Amino acid sequence: MTEQQRQHLRAAPRTVISVDAMGGDRGPSAVVAGLARSAGKNPDIRFILHGNRPELERLVARRKVLEGRVDIRHAEDVVTMDAKPSHVMRHGQKTSMWSAIDCVRQGEAPVCVSCGNTGALMLLSIVRLRKLPGVNRPAIACLWPSRNPHGFNVMLDVGADVRADEHDLLQYALMGTSYARNGLGLDRPRVGLLNVGTEENKGRAELKAAHDLIQNCADRANFDFVGFVEGGDIPSDKIDVIVTDGFTGNVALKAGEGTARLIGDFMREAFNATPLSRIAALLAYTSLRRLKKRIDPRRVNGGVFLGLNGTVVKSHGSSDATGVSAAVKLAFELAQSGFTERLAMRVATAACGEQEATQAAAGSTR
Amino acid sequence: MTEQQRQHLRAAPRTVISVDAMGGDRGPSAVVAGLARSAGKNPDIRFILHGNRPELERLVARRKVLEGRVDIRHAEDVVTMDAKPSHVMRHGQKTSMWSAIDCVRQGEAPVCVSCGNTGALMLLSIVRLRKLPGVNRPAIACLWPSRNPHGFNVMLDVGADVRADEHDLLQYALMGTSYARNGLGLDRPRVGLLNVGTEENKGRAELKAAHDLIQNCADRANFDFVGFVEGGDIPSDKIDVIVTDGFTGNVALKAGEGTARLIGDFMREAFNATPLSRIAALLAYTSLRRLKKRIDPRRVNGGVFLGLNGTVVKSHGSSDATGVSAAVKLAFELAQSGFTERLAMRVATAACGEQEATQAAAGSTR
């Protein structure tokens, strides 16, 4: 591609997504298949694709729908799934992941998608994109299938950091509501703080402090705070955003996924148990497929890193075309809504808000 | 019942279980129905039942299978589900819960079952039964449906305390393996420590310390330590016992239960969606019932309080006859195996063991 072509692509009124083609378990062919699927559904999307140029050119050439919509950037190295994040940070300049993130840093794309090593992606994103002013700990937000009409709840942090104090939890509430507005289209998200009981005197000290900080901030930041919620409420329709520290959130997310997988396996066994049940499975095929789609982890694919100068969507390492395409869809929606700028504003406003709230709280106890 | 009859009952070579009849959401009729079910299946069981005597006498008289197998102790008051534990501790002497626990304290029964308020039950149990020598924080252990041949894994703590340091986590490992031996019949349980990744350098500082303490203790205490596990491994067949703090364990348990309920509801909707799917549900009836039984939370009913002078089984507040009967079955098995005494020995041995281990660790860093 000539420099002229490249400039033309950049100038086109399309949303550009920077994609790390090399990181996932299934290699670049699954990634390119996912991009083709997204491109087929959405004419307003184009890609900057990072990885091994000859391989990517061959894969892209096979997909007619990608013609003229993919700009390939060569990267010699790949971040492996077991690479140490600190090693990648020091020596990863030639990896496709680094290149994909730097594309956002340079302003060529508003959002980056990768199926690669989560720890390395998080660390590189923080180092290269830097934290938004006022953000202490960036967070990873995930979507959880729920009883809500829009089908998902947002939970954060699910693993960016194993700690969070009350100020971090307040920022998570603000970042989470901003994400729910721009990613799920909710005007006034309802926020719950994860705890082991719903009574106000329960749980750890930082949770009680966070409870008051978030409550004081809710009106000004235009969300509803429903107070403490329990693990069983994560998929409920009484909240849209679940706030927790990255240790608890990660365990809860994986415990939920593990339970869903276990039930799925048991269900398959149950339907294979007798000839009658196999016929039943056939008859219920459409209904079961709809059920599967509703709880398919690939559809909620795409943890989002929040709190950086730019948005990074982490797709499951084992993502296939469906998973990659879901992550790209999410990235597109966030890019379209100008999410990064909105989030930055939200956090900046809150930084002042929190000072006021702290002063007010101090006043009230005097 | 005369004192003579009572003494006769006590002398009979049967396992006695002390049951709080009043605490649950469904009242004493569900509890008595559960006892009748257990009594029908197990001729070696009898009960001391605590609560409103006239009401209980009427309920018991209706169940022929309970004839001569229930000793009723009158208690005027009931611990309500929303009662503050500290209030119950100070003013709850006349409640059925207090009476049921004191029955274990007096040595009349080796184990107590209650569907009542968890917080109050835990606090009363600690205050009345007292902690075993060497135990710092008692724990609640739950059973989780798993891929293991015996069908369940043990997880603890799931909510006795929101904190746990490395020494507590080591004790949980010892208490959990003792429970797995006596409750699940496993000779050499495999223990995993819950974390956000399986690499040894991951997670919070107390987890790294606990990792080493548990590893050093494994051989002497006759269990296998598989190291760190993640939330998705909780139902897996690579471990039998999952060790974690009460905050994380409680959230994970409820997140898993919530996910199972969500999928159950979605499944019902799917099978009601079309006439064809309704026929399918009919055809698959037996298989679906087996599936339901496998993941039915009532069957894994019965959190067990570990680390006290006596065993207390907490049944779900909403337990029906099936739930109560499952809790009674667990209580019976633990009583039969002399669980309390075995656990006490286990912890006492470990207390010395830990000193050695700490010295060894200190030596190795010197």
Euclidean distance between CA atoms A25 and A238, whole angstroms: 36
- Do B252 and A257 count as a contact with CB atoms less than 8 A apart? no
Asked if B71 and B181 sit in the same domain, the reply is no
Nearest residue in B to A147, CA atom: B262
- Do B248 and A251 count as a contact with CB atoms less than 8 A apart? yes
- Do B246 and A280 count as a contact with CB atoms less than 8 A apart? no
- CA B313 to chain A, closest CA, distance in angstroms equals 20
pLDDT at B186 over 50: yes
Contacts of A247 in chain B (CB under 8 A): 196, 203-204, 248
Q: What pLDDT shows up at residue A360?
A: 46
Task: Give Cα B97 distance to the centre of its chain.
Answer: 16
Domain that holds residue B254: 136-300
Asked if B61 and B75 sit in the same domain, the reply is yes
Nearest residue in A to B295, CA atom: A263
Q: What pLDDT shows up at residue A296?
A: 61
Asked if B54 and B125 sit in the same domain, the reply is yes
- Do B259 and A262 count as a contact with CB atoms less than 8 A apart? no
- Do A231 and B159 count as a contact with CB atoms less than 8 A apart? no
Asked if A284 and A316 sit in the same domain, the reply is no
Is residue A364 in a domain?
no
pLDDT at B364 over 50: no
Query: Which of A230, A251, A280 is closest, CB to CB, to B280?
Result: A280
Euclidean distance between CA atoms B9 and B366, whole angstroms: 61
- CA A167 to chain B, closest CA, distance in angstroms equals 19
Asked if B142 and B246 sit in the same domain, the reply is yes
Is residue B352 in a domain?
no
Asked if A315 and A230 sit in the same domain, the reply is no
Asked if B247 and B160 sit in the same domain, the reply is yes
Is residue B88 in a domain?
yes
Strand arrangement, sheet containing A139-145: A70-74, A45-51, A15-20, A111-114, A311-314, A303-306, A139-145, A152-156, A241-243, A190-194, A224-229
Is residue A362 in a domain?
no
Query: Which of A196, A283, A287 is closest, CB to CB, to B250?
Result: A196
Neighbouring residues of A204: CB distance < 8 A, sequence distance ≥ 6? B162, B163, B247
Opening angle at CA A103, ends A42 and A33, nearest 5: 40
- Do B284 and A284 count as a contact with CB atoms less than 8 A apart? yes
Is residue B355 in a domain?
no
Asked if A116 and A174 sit in the same domain, the reply is no
Is residue A233 in a domain?
yes
Q: What pLDDT shows up at residue A200?
A: 67
Nearest residue in A to B282, CA atom: A280
Opening angle at CA A94, ends A91 and A97, nearest 5: 95
Contacts of A198 in chain B (CB under 8 A): none
Euclidean distance between CA atoms A110 and A17, whole angstroms: 7
Q: What pLDDT shows up at residue B301?
A: 62
The position carrying tokens 């009898």 is B46
- Do A270 and B284 count as a contact with CB atoms less than 8 A apart? yes
Q: What pLDDT shows up at residue B310?
A: 92
Is residue A343 in a domain?
no
Asked if A152 and A278 sit in the same domain, the reply is yes
ipTM > 0.90 (yes/no): no
pLDDT in tens, B293-345: 666 655 566 689 999 999 999 987 777 888 899 899 989 988 888 887 888 88
Q: Average pLDDT, whole number, for chain B? A: 85
- Do B255 and A276 count as a contact with CB atoms less than 8 A apart? no
Asked if A44 and A25 sit in the same domain, the reply is yes
**What is the share, in percent, of chain B residues with pLDDT greater than 90?**
54
Print pLDDT tens along chain A (366 aa): 456 555 544 545 589 999 999 988 888 999 999 999 999 999 999 999 999 999 999 999 999 999 999 999 999 999 998 888 899 999 999 999 999 999 999 999 999 999 988 889 999 999 999 999 888 999 999 988 888 988 889 999 998 888 999 999 999 999 999 999 988 889 999 999 999 977 766 778 899 999 999 999 999 889 999 999 999 999 999 999 999 999 999 999 999 888 888 888 887 887 777 777 777 777 777 777 777 766 665 556 668 999 999 999 998 777 788 889 989 998 998 888 888 788 888 777 765 455 554 554 444 333
Neighbouring residues of B68: CB distance < 8 A, sequence distance ≥ 6? B9
Identify the three-state secondary structure at position A260: helix
- CA B249 to chain A, closest CA, distance in angstroms equals 9
Strand arrangement, sheet containing B111-114: B70-74, B45-51, B15-20, B111-114, B311-314, B303-306, B139-145, B152-156, B241-243, B190-194, B224-229
Contacts of B194 in chain A (CB under 8 A): 251
- Do B284 and A280 count as a contact with CB atoms less than 8 A apart? yes
Q: What pLDDT shows up at residue B363?
A: 42
- In total, how many domains does chain B have? 2
* Residues B213-240, mean pLDDT to the nearest whole number: 94
Residue A157: is the preceding peptide bond cis (ω within 30°)?
yes
Asked if A208 and A76 sit in the same domain, the reply is no
Residue A262 in tokens: 């276990």
**What is the domain-level CATH number for residue A209?**
3.40.718.10
pLDDT at B179 over 60: yes
Give the pairing of strands A311-314 and A303-306.
Answer: antiparallel
Query: Given A300, A321, A347, which residue is the final one in a domain?
Result: A300
Contacts of A192 in chain B (CB under 8 A): none
Euclidean distance between CA atoms B207 and B248, whole angstroms: 13
Asked if A206 and A325 sit in the same domain, the reply is no
Q: What pLDDT shows up at residue B155?
A: 95
Is residue A90 in a domain?
yes
Nearest residue in B to A264, CA atom: B263
Contacts of B270 in chain A (CB under 8 A): 284, 287-288, 290-291
Euclidean distance between CA atoms B277 and B171, whole angstroms: 50
Contacts of A258 in chain B (CB under 8 A): 231-236, 256
